[in-house]
């Protein structure tokens, strides 16, 4: 009996996970200091980075706080909304696919 062995090459397609940018949106009520605090505490930005992003949000209407996988971006958006709500600010955070 002849045994035939077949070699099977299995290629795993490991794509990079889809990335999402988290955005903060400008409003007329949330203070610049609060936005800087959010950027430092939720997004772990330095004071200098936070000030630059906050000014971008203020001037352009929105600014990118970071780029993350879906689950992390979703968590960051939720954290911002919860902290803003508990602090009495209407700060809006959203996420968009990169």
The answer to whether position 45 is within a domain reads yes
pLDDT for the residue numbered 51:
98
The reply to whether 5 falls in a domain is: no
Task: Evaluate whether residue 44 is within a structural domain.
Answer: yes
Residue 82 belongs to domain with CATH number: 3.30.1390.10
Q: What is the pLDDT of residues 27-72, one digit of tens each?
A: 999 999 999 999 999 999 999 999 999 999 999 999 999 999 999 9
The pTM for the full model equals 0.84
Alpha helix segments (H runs only) across the chain: 32-41, 47-60, 70-86
Please tell me the total count of domains within the chain. 1
The reply to whether 27 falls in a domain is yes
The SS3 call for residue 70 is helix
The pLDDT assigned to 54 comes to: 98
Spatial distance between the Cα atoms of 32 and 19, rounded to a whole number of angstroms:
27
């Amino acid at each position: 009996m002849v045994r035939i062995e077949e070699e099977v090459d299995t290629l795993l397609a490991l794509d990079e996970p889809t990335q999402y940018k988290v955005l903060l949106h400008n409003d007329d009520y949330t203070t610049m200091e609060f936005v800087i605090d959010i950027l430092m505490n939720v997004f772990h930005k330095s004071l200098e980075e936070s000030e630059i992003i906050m000014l971008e949000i203020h001037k352009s209407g929105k600014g990118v706080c970071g780029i993350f996988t879906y689950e992390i971006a979703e968590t960051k958006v939720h954290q911002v909304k919860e902290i803003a709500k508990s602090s009495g600010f209407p700060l809006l955070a959203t996420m968009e696919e990169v």
